[in-house]
Every structure is written in C-alpha cells, then in structure tokens.
Structure 1
C-alpha cells in the first residue's frame, strides 16, 4: 500500500527494528501524531493464546485512570427504579421495548455502549442480530449486564474500556488521545497491560505477550518490548 508524504516523514521518527520501552514508545507516538485533529492512541496486543478454545478466552473491562478522551453515549435498558437510577447517573438514553422499536424500525444507533439489567435481557435479545455484529450486545463479563446500572453508567462515562480477543488473537483498545500528557498515556497503557496480564488463562502456555504495538490514528506502529511488561 502506497503511503503519503506525511506518513513517510513520520516513519523517519521511528526505528522499525527496535523494541521500545513503554515510556519511549509513548513519547514516540506523541511525536508522530501530527494530524490537524486530536488523534486517538490505540494499543494492539497479540497474545500467545488460541481464541478458538473456550478456556483460552481473554476478555474483560477496566476503567482507564484518565479515560479515553472520547465522550461516550450510553443506552440503558431498564424499568422502574433502575431506569430512574440510570437517568440520574447520566445515561443518554433509557428505555425498554420502545428502544427496541426505535432501533429496529428507525435503524437508530446514536449510542456507543449498551447496558441492560438482567431482567431486560429477554427484550434486548431481540436485537442480537443487529447489536451483535456491531459489538454492542450487553455482556455480564464486561459489566454491561447488571442491576448496578448507576455504577455501570458512571464507569463507562469515566473511561471504561472493554478488551477482548479478535479471531487473530489480537486485542485492540483505545488508550487515550494524542493531546494527553505522556504520564496520562503511560498510566492508561500500564493499567490496561496489567489487567490483560492478570487475565492470562491458566491453560495458556509459552510466551503470553507476543507483541505489543501502539499507534496514533494516522501514525506508524511503534513496538513495545513485551519482555519488559
């Protein structure tokens, strides 16, 4: 794939053969984030597991200390007191069957995360075909199926991110914005890597962190030394 002149210039700032320490990698990713908008910084982590096996799944959610820098719209499926709780906690949209109808009939998707109380999962299940492919289906493992809706909404608004393996055993997670200070990005990335480290399946053998790369939206990938994680 042919890259533009700006990208080629950014590449000169990165040593493709080098495995950077975390601090150095973050410093480099900030230097290469020169777009006119505030680029997102993402981590791409390849693990030595096989996601085809149920006992080697790596999935969870954490609240990043400094958030992601993105304002997140939350839709909550709840009724009664729980619906009131969700609204008071700052949920952008709260409803039940009415929201199912809005999504199915109007093809409405003006939200980033879906939370549901367990008793509403029968209703939400009708949306499986449309929410599933978009990665929006609530899940107990990520804390989005819960009766503690106020906490769930607060955590998401504060910068909660979900991490999970894709089919190639790689986890892709945003860890902040290029405008963040180096310390903020360092902390966010360290908390994420620590959580993934703790989530290592007991059945996983050999090297766990195969590769760790961080990149900004328009910048080149910068490899972190996995041996130092």
Structure 2
C-alpha cells in the first residue's frame, strides 16, 4: 500500500494553498491534488469534504452555491494562516517528490523481476529442447541417419529473446526516469505494467507448450 502523502494536519494547509490560487468546488480540489502529485495521491470525497467543513467552521474558508455546485473560497483569516505556515508547503512538495521517485524505482524493480522470470522460463525451455535434441540425435545416429539439431535453434531463439528483453527494459527504464522527474508516474502504471507482462509471459509459455 502506498503510504499517505500528507502528514497529520498538512492536507488542510494544502487545501488552503489551492483555494488561495482560485475558488474551487470539491471535485476541482480532488482533481487539482491528483494532478499536482502526478496521480500518486487522489483523495476521496470523504477525505476532502470533512476538512473543508472544518476549515469553514474555523472561518478560514467560505462556501457559496453556484447552480448545483458548492464553491469554496479562502478568507483573509485563511490567507493569514497560509502565510504563517508557507515554509511547511515547501517541505510537503519535497516529500511528495521523494514519494514519486520511490514509486518509479518500484516500477523499475517490477520490470526487472518480470524480465528475469521470463528469461528463466525461456532458458528452461531451451534446456529441455537441447535434451530432446540430444536424444533425437542419438537415436538417429543409431539408426544410421543424420538427425536434426533443434537444440541449436532453440539456443539461438533464447539468445535473441534475451536481447529483446534487455532492449525493452532499457527503453522502459529511460521512459520511467524521464516521467518520474515530471511527477507523472502513478500506481496505475504499475498495475498496467504487471498485467501486460503477465499476459506476455502467459502467451510465450503457451507457444512453448504447443511446441
């Protein structure tokens, strides 16, 4: 589970900072938080609205109705508290940047594990093919035939597959590092990556079984 982005009391401060930029309704605040932290943090309505109500009770924000939406706006008292704690916002940004970097490292680790597992499966299949080829060659020699060498073909295929996997890993690692610096690597990337790699592995193993 991803650790919470905000320490106790920090979310209310960040909500004030967002409202200081412009008045927003609750959903806009949720979207702004998700975008600001590259998808690593997307709070629920049950997290945001109670804090907005508390800020309203303390006189730090006001709310008004715009059609079917409730719009929140920071008050002078809210701006005063925000200015008094401005230094805390910088610390929050640094912590979230570190969180995004750790997430990107986790994605890279998942890729490396998946690549190692797939290479191991291919190598195991190559060894089986080599043993089968040895048996076939021995039988062919006993019968006076020349026999074929499917083991050599399997070894070449495994070598080529290894090159493809290494190239993929290097390219994806570069992409992840680039996007991590921009703060746009989120948990959904890990979920998608694991699902696609698992499917690729299953498809490759299916072809090996057919052989």
Q: Do these two structures clear the TM 0.5 threshold for a shared fold by scoring above it? A: no
TM-score (norm 1): 0.24
More strand by share: 1
More helix by share: 2
TM-score (norm 2): 0.26
Larger radius of gyration: 2
* Highest RCO, 1 vs 2 (Cα 8 Å, sep ≥ 6): 1
